């Protein structure tokens, strides 16, 4: 089989080339004269970056997962396991500032027009999702050209409360941490799909659609995705703290933001806060911890793993064991001052009291109602962690 090559663009400028190697790996090579890092794992002082087996994890984590992966593979007639093949067809608009295209000397593939395959664009994540644009009072799938400033996230066939859950989780998290700490979102109808979705504003795009650098922690750590998508769980929360210390333009501030966020994730029952749910975002000051996203009360679903997604102190921690002493100790071990840890707990106690109306069940809802069960999980976690 012929070895394939892709042009690698950074903010739509040719930055280098990605080539398959004879040993079934891949090699990224910077273009002559290029001096800017396109990613934490690709320092430009080193001109070539090789990965021995398969697609380099940085690019692998740009590829779609789950429902969108199935859609895109089917429409493009690409083998579902072929990450590079999918990115060559859909990688013109990836999350972040890096994109892929066929070299000029290779004839372009037939244009993809099916709206639910996000032609020319891709977004990672297991959940059913599409890139969308505003259309009157609702939204519609984005075409292959033009802006695509929003991500629509839908319910799955198995769980019909995902949209409601994430909307409530984000709203409560924003009330506790502050609105600027959480991605902007709304609920709206998406035509063609004909469903109501959680619409998330992309913070990796500027006001005029300009691409901003955004890297998740799985990319930064070069964690292979794995056939079962388990690579994003193969790490510790201490690793995220180390990333912030090394790459953030404001390490002390972002370390505290990360710590506060992790506590709130434990309070809201979010056991799925894995490496891809923490990212560094380009700002005028440099790379900073991005707003929170993909926040979900997973503890509400029977059969879902009730352990935190990453390890703490070298071990997996059950949600019920994530208590105040453990999380205080974690804050100190990642280098936060005692006064910062104490202040965090004090602030969160005050904010969860203010946020209580958001998760107050409707008067007509029974004891097994969604909001009732959601509130019970949060209330128990607040008692366990904050003593509130």
Structural domain boundaries, residue 41:
5-111
Residue 2 has a pLDDT of: 72
Q: Which of 22-26, 216-220, 243-247 has the lowest mean pLDDT?
A: 22-26
- How far apart CA 386 and CA 294 sit, in angstroms, is 23
**Confidence (pTM):** 0.95
Q: Percent of the chain, pLDDT > 90?
A: 88
Q: Which of 73, 89, 111 is the last residue before a domain boundary?
A: 111
Residue 230, C-beta contacts closer than 8 angstroms, at least 6 positions apart: none
Is 326 among the domain residues? yes
- Total count of domains within the chain: 2
Residue 89 shares a structural domain with residue 233:
no
Is 202 among the domain residues? no
- Calculate helix-pair angle for 324-333, 237-247, nearest 10 degrees: 30
Q: Percent of the chain, pLDDT > 70?
A: 100
Residue 217 shares a structural domain with residue 106:
no
Residue 107 shares a structural domain with residue 233:
no
Residue 282 has a pLDDT of: 98
Residue 1 has a pLDDT of: 58
Residues 102-156 have pLDDT tens digits of 998 787 788 888 878 888 899 988 889 999 999 999 999 999 989 999 999 999 9
Is 162 among the domain residues? no
Residue 250 shares a structural domain with residue 107:
no
The residue-averaged pLDDT of 36-41 equals: 98
Q: Write the DSSP assignment of 210-254 as a string of letters.
A: -B--EEEHHHHTT----TTS-GGGSSBHHHHHHHHHHH-SSHHHH
Q: Which residue has the higher pLDDT, 208 or 216?
A: 216
Residue 221 shares a structural domain with residue 362:
yes
Residue 182 has a pLDDT of: 98
Q: Which residue has the higher pLDDT, 365 or 372?
A: 372
How many Cβ atoms sit within 10 Å of the Cβ of residue 156? 14
Q: Which of 58, 86, 111 is the last residue before a domain boundary?
A: 111
Q: Which residue has the tokens 């979010």?
A: 270
Is 140 among the domain residues? no
Residue 225 shares a structural domain with residue 341:
yes
**Which CATH number fits the domain that encloses residue 325?**
1.10.1070.20
Residue 378 shares a structural domain with residue 264:
yes
Is 313 among the domain residues? yes
Residue 106 has a pLDDT of: 81
Is 159 among the domain residues? no
Is 248 among the domain residues? yes
- How far apart CA 314 and CA 316 sit, in angstroms, is 7
- How far apart CA 225 and CA 234 sit, in angstroms, is 10
Residues 195-214 have pLDDT tens digits of 999 999 999 999 899 999 99
- How far apart CA 210 and CA 236 sit, in angstroms, is 33
Q: Which of 86, 111, 136 is the last residue before a domain boundary?
A: 111
Mean pLDDT over all residues of the chain? 95
Residue 245 shares a structural domain with residue 377:
yes
Q: With 0-12 CB in 10 A as exposed, 13-18 as middle and 19+ as buried, what is 179?
A: exposed
Residue 365 has a pLDDT of: 84
Residue 96 shares a structural domain with residue 223:
no
Residues 317-339 have pLDDT tens digits of 999 999 999 999 999 999 999 99
Q: Write the DSSP assignment of 323-362 as a string of letters.
A: -HHHHHHHHHHTT--HHHHHHHHHHHHHHHHHHGGGGPPP
pLDDT band at 75 (very low <50, low <70, confident <90, very high): very high
Is 240 among the domain residues? yes
Residue 199 has a pLDDT of: 98
């Amino acid at each position: 089989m012929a070895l394939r090559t892709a042009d690698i663009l950074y903010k739509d400028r040719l930055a280098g080339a990605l080539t398959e190697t004879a040993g079934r790996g891949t090699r990224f090579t910077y273009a002559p004269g290029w001096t800017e890092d396109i990613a934490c794992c690709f320092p430009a002082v080193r001109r070539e970056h090789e990965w021995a087996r398969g697609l380099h994890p940085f690019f692998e984590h740009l590829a779609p997962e789950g429902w969108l992966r199935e859609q895109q593979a089917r429409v493009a007639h690409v083998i579902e396991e072929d990450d590079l093949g999918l990115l060559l067809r859909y990688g013109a608009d990836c999350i972040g500032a890096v994109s892929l295209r066929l070299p000029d000397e290779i004839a372009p593939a037939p244009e993809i027009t099916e709206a639910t395959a996000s032609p020319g664009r891709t977004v990672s994540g297991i959940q059913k999702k599409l890139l969308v644009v505003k259309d009157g009072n609702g939204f519609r799938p984005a075409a292959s050209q033009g802006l695509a400033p929003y991500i629509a996230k839908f319910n799955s066939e198995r769980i019909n409360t995902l949209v409601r859950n994430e909307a409530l989780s984000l709203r409560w998290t924003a009330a506790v941490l502050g609105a600027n700490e959480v991605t902007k979102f709304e609920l709206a109808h998406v035509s063609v799909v004909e469903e109501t979705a959680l619409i998330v504003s992309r913070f990796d795009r500027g006001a005029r659609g300009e691409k901003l650098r955004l890297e998740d922690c799985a990319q930064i750590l070069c964690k292979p995705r794995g056939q079962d998508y388990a690579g994003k769980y193969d790490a510790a929360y201490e690793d995220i703290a180390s990333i912030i210390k090394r790459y953030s333009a404001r390490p002390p501030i972002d370390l505290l933001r990360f710590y506060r966020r992790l506590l709130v994730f434990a309070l809201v029952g979010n056991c799925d806060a894995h490496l891809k749910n923490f990212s560094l975002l380009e700002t005028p000051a440099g790379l900073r911890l991005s707003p929170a996203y993909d926040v979900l009360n997973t503890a509400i679903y029977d059969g879902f793993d009730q352990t935190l997604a990453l390890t703490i102190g070298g071990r997996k921690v059950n949600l019920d064991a994530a208590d105040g002493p453990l999380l205080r100790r974690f804050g100190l071990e990642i280098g936060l001052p005692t006064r910062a840890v104490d202040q965090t707990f004090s602030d969160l106690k005050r904010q969860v009291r203010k946020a209580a109306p958001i998760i107050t069940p409707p008067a007509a809802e029974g004891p097994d109602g969604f909001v009732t069960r959601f509130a019970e999980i949060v209330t128990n976690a607040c008692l366990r962690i904050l003593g509130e």
